[in-house]
Amino acid sequence: MTAEAIELVREHLDRVTPPESLDESRRLQLRQRITELLRERDAVLVAHYYTDPEIQSLAEETGGCVSDSLEMARFGKEHSATTLVVAGVRFMGETAKILSPEKRVLMPTLEATCSLDIGCPVEQFSAFCDQHPDRTVVVYANTSAAVKARADWVVTSSIAVDLIDYLDKRGEKILWAPDQHLGRYVQQKTGADVLCWEGACIVHEEFKARGVIDLKKAHPDAAVLVHPESPEAVVAIADVVGSTSQLIRAAAELPNPTMIVATDRGIFYKMQQLAKGKTLIEAPTAGSGATCRSCAHCPWMAMNGLENLCHVLEDEQGAGQQIFVDPDIAARAMIPLDRMLAFGRERPR
Ligand code: 13P
Ligand code: SF4
């Protein structure tokens, strides 16, 4: 990341307020009230795997969805509810709104952002694209609506390798943004000509290869599962590299009794459900001289709690935490997003 991006990320991190811890009776009271409000407001809860297990289980219990970012987009677009409550980070809410402009899209907090989104301001990104007019612009879903509006394609980690391979076979050169680690990974997997923006995820970039190797020595029968936003050295020692949903599937299907997992620990809720009886171990983020800022948990995903979720539903107008996207930007961003959904439909995930 550039020094400017690091400074912007730091400013956002200073504003992060994790939800308060709740006693048991308040927790149950909130769960019940949210369930009633979802029904009354014709709303459905769409949650990412990195949110608190409390939120994920509520989404499951109330007929919502817990998934990766691609499936969240698809589910929200196809669901009949008139209100989508997106528990995740801001780009997920914006994507839901762009794909379903007729629906009301609420989030427990609009402050929940992403270091990849912050590190890719549209003005600089547009200038970068202008310098490389011969390249097809592919942006990761973890970007603002305005950056998507400047792209030819939007992609999530679950279809990134397939899409770049497809474009490469058509003879296209790629401009990729914003995650440099995922960009390098897809370049290495496909051999395509990929020019990368230098963004990074503050959660995944903290995983340490040395720590994973030491852990693997202590658990020789473990499989190492890595999200491709992780550093190159960590990806290099993985048994499986994939999106959140691909890692969950791998944990369930691999014969290994133990998994060392290099991604946000929120994923353990769903992974443990599907990989019953297996031991899941968090990949280390610390190590000699390391400073762990996020410690395998996204500070922005962690901002989604029962209190703010209930609060946003109580507010009948949904005025406080409602997502709005400029119609002109939304219309332009819809084109690469629709391409992403169409491409995703045709690929096994
Ligand atoms: P997935 O698309 O794999 O769910 O990842 C989203 C994300 O933010 C990873 O950090
Ligand atoms: Fe962004 Fe990383 Fe958080 Fe995912 S885990 S939302 S990429 S900061």
The ligand 1 atom nearest the CA atom of 264:
10
Average pLDDT over residues 52-59: 97
Gap from CA of 133 to ligand 1 centroid (Å): 28
pLDDT of residue 14: 85
Give CA angle at 301 (344, 38), nearest 5°: 80
Average pLDDT over residues 286-314: 81
pLDDT in tens, 208-256: 999 999 999 999 999 999 999 999 999 999 999 999 999 999 999 999 9
pLDDT of residue 125: 97
Average pLDDT over residues 59-80: 94
Residue 17 CB coordination number (10 Å): 12
Return d(Cα 292, Cα 205) in angstroms, integer.
Answer: 10
Ligand 1 pocket check for 230: Cβ under 6 Å? no
Query: Is it the case that residue 290 has pLDDT exceeding 60?
Result: no
pLDDT of residue 101: 95
Site to probe by mutation for ligand 2, drawn from 107, 115, 265 as the one with most ligand atoms within 8 Å of Cβ, is 115
pLDDT of residue 152: 98
Query: Is it the case that residue 348 has pLDDT exceeding 60?
Result: no
More confident residue, 4 or 176: 176
Chain CA centroid to CA 270, Å: 15
Helix (H) or strand (E) holding 280: strand 279-282
CATH 3.40.50.10800, the chain: domain bounds: 3-113+300-326, 116-201+330-346, 204-282
Site to probe by mutation for ligand 1, drawn from 65, 72, 91, 157 as the one with most ligand atoms within 8 Å of Cβ, is 157
Residue 272 CB coordination number (10 Å): 17
Return d(Cα 211, Cα 217) in angstroms, integer.
Answer: 10
The pLDDT > 90 percentage for the chain reads 85
Ligand 1 pocket check for 162: Cβ under 6 Å? no
Ligand 1 pocket check for 179: Cβ under 6 Å? no
Closest C-alpha to ligand 2, atom 3: 298
Closest C-alpha to ligand 2, atom 5: 298
Q: What are phi and psi of 68, to 5 degrees?
A: -85, 175
Name the CATH topology of 3-113+300-326.
Answer: Rossmann fold (3.40.50)
Query: Is it the case that residue 268 has pLDDT exceeding 60?
Result: yes
More confident residue, 58 or 287: 58
Second CATH level (architecture) for the domain 204-282? 3-Layer(aba) Sandwich (3.40)
pLDDT in tens, 79-99: 999 999 999 999 999 999 999
Average pLDDT, the chain: 93
Taking phi over 0 as left and psi of -120 to 50 as alpha, with beta for the rest, 315 belongs to beta
- Which ligand has the shortest distance to the CA of 48? 1
pLDDT of residue 13: 86
Six-digit token pair at 174?
Answer: 């790629």
Average pLDDT over residues 94-108: 95
CATH H-level, domain 116-201+330-346: superfamily? NadA-like (3.40.50.10800)
Average pLDDT over residues 184-198: 97
pLDDT of residue 294: 60
Kindly report whether the global pTM for this prediction surpasses the value 0.85: yes
